[in-house]
Amino acid sequence: MITKWPAPAKINLFLYITGRRNDGYHNLQTLFQLLDYGDTLFIENNLRGDLQLLTSLPGITEEHNLIIRAAKILRDHTKLYGILPDHSGVTFQIEKKLPIGGGLGGGSSNAATVLVALNYLWGSQFSKKNLATLGLKLGADVPLFVYGLSSFAEGIGELLTPISLSEKWYLVVYPGVKISTYQIFNDPLLTRNTPRRHMNDLLLRAYFNDCQFVARNRFYEVEKLIFWLRSYGLPILTGTGSCVCLEFYTEFFARQVLKKIPAGLQGFVAKGVNISPLYYALRKHIL
Find the helix or strand (DSSP H, E) in which 80 lies: helix 66-80
Catalytic residue list contains 141: yes
**What span, in angstroms and rounded, lies between the C-alpha atoms of 34 and 18?**
23
Angle (CA) 29 101 60, round 5°: 125
DSSP-assigned letters across all residues of 177-190? ----HHHHHT-TTS
DSSP designation for 43 = E
Beta bridge partners of 12: 32
Q: What is the DSSP string of 108-129?
A: HHHHHHHHHHHHHHTT----HH
In sequence order, what are the residues at sequence separation of 6 or more whose Cβ sits closer than 8 angstroms to the Cβ of residue 101?
177, 178, 179, 180, 241, 242
Known catalytic membership, residue 259? no
Given a contact cutoff of 8 angstroms between Cβ atoms, the answer to whether 268 and 238 are in contact is no
Say whether 49 sits in a helix, a strand or coil: coil
Catalytic residue among 10, 79, 97, 129: 10
User: Cα separation of 17 and 20, whole Å?
Assistant: 8
Q: CA quadruple 191, 156, 60, 93: dihedral positive or negative?
A: negative
**Residue of 97, 141, 187, 284 marked active site:** 141
Sequence ranges of the binding site for ATP: 99-109
> Quick count: other Cβ atoms within 10 Å of Cβ 212?
20
List of residues 6+ apart from 52 with CB closer than 8 A: 89, 90, 91, 92
- Count CB neighbours of 43 within 10 A: 22
Catalytic residues, which ones? 10, 141
